Amino acid sequence: MARRMMREFGFTLHKTDGPARLGTVHTGRGDIRTPAFMPVGTVGTVKGLYMDQVKATGADIILGNTYHLMLRPGAEQVAKLGGLHKLIRWEGPILTDSGGFQIMSLSKIRKIREEGATFQSHIDGSKHFLSPERAMEIQRLLGSDIQMQLDQCIEFPHTEKAAVKAMELSLRWAERSRVAFGSQPGRGNFGIVQGGTNEALRLKSAAGLIDIGFEGYAVGGLAVGEGQKLMLSTLDFTAPVLPADKPRYLMGVGTPDDILEAVARGIDMFDCVLPTRSGRHGQAFTRFGKINIRNAKHATDMRPLDEEHSCPALSQYSRAYLHHLIRSGEMLGMMLMSWANIAYYESLMKDMRAAIAEGRFEDFRAQTKEQWRRGETES
């Protein structure tokens, strides 16, 4: 393992089909095929799945979170136990978010200053401080393979003044994060483009990050309530200015349709809690569109969610049984639905990679959206 960690971090762009990109992110722990969806393992678990199941879906990488893991069990404790990979039994790459979004969305009281963010834990109200340097230290202690800069996220809607202030602070924090990252062979440090939905701010943020120089670039501050139309229009002017030879990561997105449209705009990497969160509440994502398994019409339907899929959760359990489990509040139902959703997301990414490789992405995009529409109409 130590020898593998010395591999250089990098990105290979194999092919483009319009703006859509087929590539590979190279890390010390292995390669990540892009476009890639990263199942969210916020506190060291992809909710409802064993890590062997996550791997079997085709996932090359999972995501963990600095904010949650610093609160419990603590970064120093994880390091003492051998690092996050060993603790959770995941041998592939792990990306860790830096905690900026969670400070905005979860912390009870927060104060943002030049030095960093002071906040109260959403768990017990305890007081904590997170600076760009500490965020990078925590991610190094966790042993993550892709480490995100600390940024300031703001809620939507917001004023232009607030967007300017947060973007400029995030740029200064990016420079400090980059210095704190230092030299970590086989690992990468990503900068985060901020600026709301304002084109001039996004372009200024991207230019500043490119000037600092990172192994990859993320688009943050979207999927916070602005809606798909504004999100995609923001990507239309942001993605093209990011370096073509570096991976591009859209943070916290999203639905299968969001991902399909973002790939069409040149994005390579995604994460979202939606597959497992929706699964726990009885919503399945399939090639036939969304299926609400709670609906009474599924109570006597012995068909699986998708009999042709390789994942057992999609092909071997009837809708009637899943309906019964979810309506009964049974843990197994939540586990199966979450497994089914992660498997579908990963198969969607695989199909997109194949379509880009074969130069038929636009046809695939149209056919997939039509199949979703037709399936939801008929179901």
Q: Does the global pTM surpass 0.85?
A: yes
* Spans of all domains in the chain: 4-272, 279-378
In contact, 95 and 38? CB cutoff 8 Å: yes
* Backbone angles phi and psi of 66, in degrees to 5: -60, -45
pLDDT of 106 reads 83
Instruction: Name the stretches of the chain with pLDDT < 50.
Output: 1-5
Q: What is the pLDDT of residue 6?
A: 61
Q: Which two three-digit tokens encode residue 98? A: 């830096």
Is the domain spanning 4-272 CATH 3.20.20.105? The answer is yes
Q: Look at residue 2 in the predicted model and tell me its pLDDT.
A: 43
pLDDT for the residue 379? 65
Active site members: 97, 271
